[in-house]
Amino acid sequence: MNTKVVKINRIQPNPGAIYEAGLIIKNGGLVAFPTETVYGLGGDAFNSSSSKKIYEAKGRPSDNPLIVHIANITDIDAVATDIPSIAYELAAKYWPGPLTMILKKRPELPKETTGGLDTVAVRMPVNEVALDLITAAGGFVAAPSANRSGKPSPTLAQYVIEDMYGFVDMIIDGGDCEIGLESTIIDLTSSPAMILRPGYITFEELKEMIPDIVFDGTILDASSEEAPKAPGMKYRHYAPKAEMILVTGPTENVIAYINEKATRGRENGQNIGVIATDETQYLYVAPSIKTLGSRNNEKQIAKNLFRILREFDDEDTDIIYAESFEEKGVFRATMNRMIKASGNKEVRV
Question: Is 36 a binder of ligand AMP (CB under 6 A)?
Answer: no
CA distance 62 to 186: 21
CB 319 within 8 A of CB 266: no
CB 226 within 8 A of CB 259: no
Q: What is the DSSP string of 303-338?
A: HHHHHHHHHHHHTT-SEEEEE---SSTTHHHHHHHH
Question: Which of 36, 182, 216, 323 touches ligand AMP (CB under 6 A)?
Answer: 182
Q: Tell me how far, at minimum, the Cβ of 331 lies from ligand AMP, in Å.
A: 19
Question: Is 64 a binder of ligand AMP (CB under 6 A)?
Answer: yes
* CB closer to Mg ion out of 195 and 274: 195
CB 298 within 8 A of CB 343: no
Interaction partner, residue 231 (Mg ion, ligand AMP, none; CB < 5-8 Å by kind): ligand AMP
Question: Is 239 a binder of ligand AMP (CB under 6 A)?
Answer: no
Question: Which of 65, 125, 199, 240 touches ligand AMP (CB under 6 A)?
Answer: 65
Question: Is 232 a binder of ligand AMP (CB under 6 A)?
Answer: yes
CB 279 within 8 A of CB 311: no
Question: Is 67 a binder of ligand AMP (CB under 6 A)?
Answer: yes
* CB closer to ligand AMP out of 230 and 242: 230
* CB closer to ligand AMP out of 114 and 218: 114
Footprint of Mg ion (CB under 5 A) = 145
Per-residue burial over 309-329, b = 16 or more CB atoms within 10 Å of its CB, e = otherwise: bbbbbeeebbbbbbbbbeeeb
Question: Is 144 a binder of ligand AMP (CB under 6 A)?
Answer: yes
Q: Which of 124, 125, 100, 122 is nearest to 113 (CA)?
A: 122
Is residue 206 helix, strand or coil?
helix
Question: Is 196 a binder of ligand AMP (CB under 6 A)?
Answer: yes
CA–CA–CA angle 272, 261, 325 (5° rounding): 80
Question: Is 76 a binder of ligand AMP (CB under 6 A)?
Answer: no
* CB closer to Mg ion out of 73 and 227: 227
Q: Tell me how far, at minimum, the Cβ of 61 lies from ligand AMP, in Å.
A: 10
Question: Is 119 a binder of ligand AMP (CB under 6 A)?
Answer: yes
List contacts with ligand AMP (CB under 6 A). 64-65, 67, 102, 114, 117, 119-121, 144-145, 182, 185, 196-197, 229-233
